[in-house]
């Protein structure tokens, strides 16, 4: 029951803030994975709520520091999402034009915050001592592979170097969006998920192919593209179970659709205003 209350509160919050477009509102109400996890998973709805609040504060309100503060609960709920979102936010912020001194100051605060929370963040990942970056990824891949297959060895392909890392990331991002393929479905629910994933992919392509005329909005749209690519690449490398894949990706997909639709609508409104001022264009 409380899951559904959060679902409704999130809906009315986005409606009140004028974030929804007609298309994204329909998507929010009809997206099967969102309906499923809003019914059964309190933790997943809390994760989604904080993700939406963070991206709203960052993209819409331009409150960069406050968005980082809003993301702190994700350390306890989903530390991977905390790191993915803030990594994308940091990259976006330094590509955006602005006062260099302000950027240096905010970078200093981010570094200070990371070192202040370092032990807490790392403890949430339970990273073995002495492991390198690729070793850590292999450790999680092997653990998740065992959870799905009950074998650490049979069928498991480790990442051996950075070429493998980028290759597996590229393949994993595409597969993460679509798994399971129709021929991999072993029950009706997985078949429904497969059809849902195909439709979602086509809708995402439809959205990103729409032109955005204003540079600031294009940069924000690139932030959302970067977030979906990085999140799907990371999870695509370590998640093998179809049910887990659906649970891990749906939050990023909801965030992408809601805010990308908002940016497209904002672009349309700005374009109409610009044409009204310059009718000869």
Least confident range from 65-79, 120-134, 144-158, 215-229: namely 120-134
Q: Is 18 left (phi over 0), alpha (psi -120 to 50) or beta?
A: left
Say yes or no to pLDDT of 116 above 60. no
Confidence of residue 148 (pLDDT cuts 50, 70, 90): low
Confidence of residue 262 (pLDDT cuts 50, 70, 90): very high
Classify residue 274 by its DSSP letter.
H
Q: What is the pTM of this model?
A: 0.86
Residue 60's pLDDT is what? 92
Q: Which of 1-5, 13-17, 64-68 has the highest mean pLDDT?
A: 13-17
Helix (H, G, I), strand (E, B) or coil at 140: helix
- Average pLDDT over every residue of 116-133: 54
């Amino acid at each position: 029951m409380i899951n559904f209350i959060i679902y409704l509160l999130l809906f009315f919050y986005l409606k009140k803030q004028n974030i929804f477009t007609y298309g994204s509102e329909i998507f929010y109400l009809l997206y099967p994975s969102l309906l499923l996890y809003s019914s059964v998973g309190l933790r997943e709805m809390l994760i989604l709520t904080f993700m939406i609040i963070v991206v709203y504060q960052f993209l819409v309100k331009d409150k960069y520091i406050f968005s980082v503060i809003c993301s702190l609960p994700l350390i306890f709920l989903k530390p991977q999402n905390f790191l993915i979102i803030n990594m994308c936010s940091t990259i976006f912020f330094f590509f955006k034009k602005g006062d260099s001194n302000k950027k240096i100051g905010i970078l200093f605060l981010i570094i200070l915050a990371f070192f202040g929370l370092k032990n807490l963040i790392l403890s949430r990942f339970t990273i073995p001592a002495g492991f390198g970056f690729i070793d850590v990824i292999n450790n999680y891949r092997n653990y998740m592979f065992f959870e799905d297959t009950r074998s650490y060895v049979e069928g498991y392909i480790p990442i051996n170097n950075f070429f493998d890392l980028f290759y597996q990331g590229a393949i994993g991002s595409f597969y993460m969006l679509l798994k399971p393929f129709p021929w991999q479905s072993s029950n009706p629910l997985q078949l429904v998920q497969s059809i849902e994933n195909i439709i979602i992919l086509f809708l995402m392509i439809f959205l990103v192919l729409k032109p955005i005329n204003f540079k600031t909005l294009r940069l924000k749209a690139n932030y959302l593209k970067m977030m979906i690519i990085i999140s799907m690449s990371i999870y695509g490398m370590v998640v093998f179970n179809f049910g887990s894949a659906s649970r891990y990706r749906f939050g990023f997909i909801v965030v992408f659709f809601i805010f990308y639709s908002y940016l497209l609508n904002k672009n349309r409104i700005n374009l109409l205003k610009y044409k009204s001022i310059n009718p000869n264009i």
